[in-house]
Amino acid sequence: MKYLADLGSDLELSLAELITVYPDLRIEFLGKNYVILSAEKWDYKEAIHRLAGTRRIGKLIFEGKNFEEFKLENFVNFNELPEKINYSINTYGVNFEKTKKFRKKVVNEIKKQGIKLFLKKPSYQKGTVLSPSDYYNKKVHIELNLVKTNKGFSVFLTECVFNHKEYEKRDKEMPVQRYSQAISIRLARMMINLSSAKKNDVILDPFCGVGTILSEAVLMGLNVIGTDISFDCVSDARRNLEFITDNNRKKFNVLRSDAKIIAQTFYENKLSKVDAIISEPYMGPLMREPLTYTEIMVLKKKLESLYKEFIFSAVKILKQYGRIVFITPVFIMKNKKKVSINMHSIIKNMDLRVVNPLLSVIKNFEMPFYYKRPDHRIGRNIWILEKFK
Ligand SMILES: C[S@@+](CC[C@H](N)C(=O)[O-])C[C@H]1O[C@@H](n2cnc3c(N)ncnc32)[C@H](O)[C@@H]1O
């Protein structure tokens, strides 16, 4: 069976997450914001919950040049539909105007069943694909995805769509929120997935803040240890974890520690080595204005020294082949030039290597993943490191 996975705007990051969690999927074709996959069997309904970077998954229902042979009734049970339905046609690498013939065929087939139908278009004017929030807000019943391929066109019927509302609800329910410091739940989940941690593994966030990564990890069936230098953060993270685990103390442990001496803290508290370390560390003071070149250089040096000391200590409490999924800041100067942290020089002479999950998938792709939202003042580089000894 062939599937379409819509990977949204963070193609590389989302693809890496997808193939890390589902390594048996075969990649048939990689587009600008989507991938066509094949597998004997894939629990895609579980996948849309597990993954944070995949926006929708569709099943192949047609492949070819001539739409004459295409019949929706073979895939959709019209008896189960209401009298009026909303439908959408997403296009991937195809000009919407060129889909007229196809749309006409689909519309006629549905109308013949006595069903009235309304086309829903993306709110974002230039968009060719409904966003997940559009999909849910516009109450779409049938969604078809048209992809241009070397065989002509492929049509995928949407089976499941990423539900952003689940994330928003979780975010709002947390007893302590601190948006200025916390990363998004979505990014937290992607990082956890990239760490390859499995159910019941123990993960550590040594700059845990209010515990966004830890809370998400607990929901994914992991056991978590969090540390932070700030007493307030330790108590806030504890409150969030008590809430999310129903006060199950076996699932979490939050301590105060400077990340630079994390191995010593583990030793003093008789803690065992962890399976993975996942963290967004301290990246400098909150900025109202872009920093000057000199300010960035001073901060960069300070952060490089913090990260180096931390990673040096962290390797000692990480199991062999365990991963560190770690964010480093990318400062953007007034002239738009970017200044980033050199991870390769930080981990030089340590038993760590940089993992590139896309090595055999995207030619010339080099780690790290770059992540930036329009409302963020700084960008983020996401690294995957693996302890090889
Ligand atoms: C960006 S926040 C972490 C956000 C967190 N990942 C979350 O999603 O909630 C950085 C955290 O690092 C902590 N911090 C700063 N310096 C530290 C150090 N040397 N050791 C441990 N924690 C530190 C700060 O108190 C702050 O809570």
Domain count, the chain: 2
Q: Is the CB of 233 under 6 A from ligand 1?
A: yes
> Which residues have a Cβ under 8 Å from the Cβ of 215 and sit 6 or more positions away?
174, 240, 241, 244
pLDDT tens digit string along 223-261? 999 999 999 999 999 999 999 999 999 999 999 999 999
Q: CA separation (Å) from 166 to 87, 170, 186?
A: 23, 6, 11
Return the pLDDT at 374: 86
Nearest CA to ligand 1 atom 26: 209
pLDDT band at 44 (very low <50, low <70, confident <90, very high): very high
Residues in the chain: 389
Q: What is the pLDDT of residue 289?
A: 81
User: What pLDDT score was predicted for residue 69?
Assistant: 82
Strand order in the sheet with 56-64: 26-30, 34-38, 2-6, 56-64, 152-161, 142-149, 84-92, 116-119
Q: Examine the domain organization and report whether 153 and 39 are in the same domain.
A: yes
Q: What is the best residue among 174, 177, 186, 207 to mutate for testing ligand 1's pocket, by most ligand atoms within 8 Å of CB?
A: 207
- CB proximity list for 105: less than 8 A, separation 6 or greater: 67, 68, 70
Q: How far apart are CA 20 and CA 22, in angstroms?
A: 6
Q: How confident is the model at residue 182 (pLDDT cuts 50, 70, 90)?
A: confident
Q: Residue 34: CB within 6 Å of ligand 1? A: no
Ligand 1 lined by 207 (C-beta under 6 Å): yes
Tokens coding 15 = 């693809």
184 lines ligand 1 (CB under 6 A): no
Question: Residue range 54-77: average pLDDT?
Answer: 91
**71-120: per-residue pLDDT in tens?**
899 899 999 999 999 999 999 988 877 788 888 999 999 999 999 999 99
* CA 62, 65, 68, 69 torsion-angle sign: negative
Nearest atom in ligand 1 to 178's CA: 9
Does the pLDDT at position 295 exceed 90? yes
Q: How much is the pLDDT for 290? A: 81
**Atom of ligand 1 lying closest to residue 183 CA:** 8
pLDDT at 127: 81
Q: Give the closest residue (by CA) to ligand 1 atom 10.
A: 282
- Rounded CA-CA distance 282/297 in Å is 16
Say yes or no: 225 and 339 in one domain: yes
Q: Ligand 1 centre from 188 Cα, in Å?
A: 14
97/172 same-domain check: no
Q: What is the pLDDT of residues 322-355, one digit of tens each?
A: 999 999 999 998 888 999 999 999 999 999 999 9
Q: Quote the tokens at residue 348.
A: 């030089």
Q: Which atom of ligand 1 is nearest to the CA of 283?
A: 1
Ligand 1 centroid distance, CA of 20 (Å): 27
User: Which one has a higher pLDDT value, 349 or 64?
Assistant: 349
Ligand 1 neighbourhood includes 328 CB (under 6 angstroms): no
Domain boundary among the residues 130, 162, 194 is at 162
Residues 58, 84, single domain; the answer is yes
pLDDT tens-digit map of 121-166: 998 877 899 999 999 999 999 999 999 887 788 999 999 999 999 8
CATH code, domain with 243: 3.40.50.150
Whether residue 353 contacts residue 386, with contact meaning beta carbons closer than 8 Å, is answered with yes
Can you tell me the distance from the alpha carbon of 114 to that of 184, in angstroms, rounded to the nearest whole number? 45
> Residue 203's closest CA among 118, 277, 259?
277
Cβ–ligand 1 distance for 210 under 6 Å, the answer yes
Query: Closest ligand 1 atom to the C-alpha of 258?
Result: 20
Ligand 1 contact via 229 beta carbon (within 6 Å): yes
Q: Tell which atom from ligand 1 comes closest to the C-alpha of 281.
A: 10
| pLDDT bucket at 64, cuts 50 / 70 / 90 | confident
Domain of 47, CATH number, reads 3.30.2130
Tell me: pLDDT of 59 over 90.
Answer: yes
Distance CA 33, CA 279 (A): 27
Same structural domain, 65 and 108: yes
DSSP sequence for 3-35: EEEE-TT-HHHHHHHHHHH-TTPEEEEE-SSEE
247 CA to centre of ligand 1 in angstroms: 23
Contact 268, 257 (CB under 8 A): no
Q: Within this chain, do residues 318 and 170 fall inside the same structural domain, yes or no?
A: yes
**Same domain, residue pair 129 and 278:** no
Instruction: Say whether both 115 and 172 belong to one domain.
Output: no
Residue pLDDT, tens place only, 371-386 = 998 888 899 999 999 9
- Is the same domain home to 143 and 216? no
213 in ligand 1 pocket by Cβ < 6 Å? Answer: yes
- Full domain range(s) for residue 34: 2-162
Residues 24 and 42 placed together within one structural domain of the fold: yes
228 pocket-lining for ligand 1 (C-beta < 6 Å)? yes
Tell me the percentage of the chain whose pLDDT exceeds 90: 83
Domain C-terminal end among 135, 162, 189:
162
Q: What is the pLDDT of residue 77?
A: 92
Is the shortest distance between the CB of 259 and ligand 1 below 6 Å? yes
Q: Is 257 exposed, middle or buried (0-12, 13-18, 19+ CB in 10 A)?
A: buried
150 lies in the same domain as 176: no
Decide which of 117, 134, 162 is a domain's last residue.
162
Q: Helix (H, G, I), strand (E, B), or coil: what is residue 49?
A: helix
Computed over every residue of the chain, the mean pLDDT equals 94
Residues 247 and 345 in one domain: yes
Position in ligand 1 atom list of the atom nearest CA 259 = 20
| Tally of CB atoms within 10 A around 13 | 24
Confidence class for position 61, pLDDT limits 50, 70, 90: very high
Please provide the DSSP assignment of 161-205 as one string.
E--HHHHHHHHHH-S---TTTPPPHHHHHHHHHHTT--TT-EEEE
